[in-house]
Structure 1
Amino acid sequence: MGSIPEIGDIVGDYCLPGGHLDGETFHRRDYPLCEQRGKPLVLVFYPGDDTPVCTAQLCSYSDGLDQLQSAGATVWGISPQGLDSHEKFARTRRLSMPLLSDEERVAAKSFEISEP
């Protein structure tokens, strides 16, 4: 089991498949944590696509994405659903931040995120 990091802590590396919506195209790729090393990164763990609380939470982050990016931060949403579910969720809610698939809960466990 991992531990909850403090701001500025160096955490272990992992790579998750994900995608982000750009206009009408959902771009899929792998997202290695190491590519963000030394840069502000906000990881938004959520239990499921299209659930009421998660939808409100992700929409809030998406609505404020420009402000976070202007402060130099990158935002990744992470949940256990697959990429097809993430693509549908992003298209339905017009979410422009990358949504990563943590089906084996590797990232969640590394940050001590409990099962939903």
Structure 2
Amino acid sequence: MLQVGQSAPDFSLKTTTGTDFRLSEQRGRHLVLFFYPKDETPGCTAEACAFRDEYQDFQDLGADVIGISSDSEASHQKFTQKNRLPFPLLADMGGKVRKLYEVPRALLGLLPGRVTFVVDKEGVIRYIFNSLSGATDHVSKTKEVLQTLEA
């Protein structure tokens, strides 16, 4: 897997609104990139809603939250509307970005993994949290890291 201190690999994916998101165009703000297995599953819904509930705190810390899974734009649109998510979800159909970020598969390789990266304003990875079962822990852990980056 990628390591803390490495530059975050650049990529471009479609958002829930159909626009292109390019990582290299996001300099100047911290980014929380959370890779999750699948829209509408219990753990993924809990994680996305936890990021939603803490979204203003992330904004106040100068960070944008971005969710990434292999679901389609249409699936992401439905998931976003149903759960009132204020942040974009990116459609990584085929898993190209998941591979680029070396996100491991979980449960004997049967499920896509759940990994969150904190990328600083210069595009450097400052934190990586890998836990399939601790879906909502991704939110609290990344918030703690962002508080230290802003201190």
SS at match of 2:18: strand
Unaligned runs of 5+ in 2: 106-110, 112-151
- Deviation at 1:13? 1.1
Which whole-Å deviations, capped at 9, do the CAs of 1:19-40 have from their partners, x for residues lacking one? 2xxxxxxx32110010123431
In structure 2, the partner of 1:39 is 29
Code of the residue aligned with 1:110 in structure 2: it is L
2:6 counterpart residue number? 9
Asked if the contact 1:5/1:111 (under 8 Å) is kept, the reply is no
1:92 matched residue in structure 2: 82
TM-score under structure 1 length normalisation: 0.84
Mapped partners of 2:66, 2:3: distance in 1? 17
Aligned partner letter, 1:69: Q
**Is residue 2:59 matched to residue 1:69?**
yes
Partner deviation per Cα, 1:38-62 (whole Å, 9 max, x = no partner) = 4310001101000000000010001
Contact 2:71/2:91 (8 A) holds in 1: yes
Residue 40 to residue 76, structure 1, CA distance change in 2 (3 Å): same
- What is the aligned-residue RMSD (CA, Å)? 1.3
- Provide the TM-score with structure 2 as the length reference: 0.66
| Residue segments in structure 1 that go unaligned for 5+ positions in a row | 20-26
Paired positions, count: 106
What is the distance in 2 between the residues matched to 1:87 and 1:101?
Answer: 10
Identical aligned residues as a percent: 40
Q: Give the match's secondary structure for 2:15.
A: strand
Per the alignment, residue 58 of structure 1 pairs with 48
Any residues of structure 2 matched to 1:20-35 within 5 Å, and which?
27-35=17-25
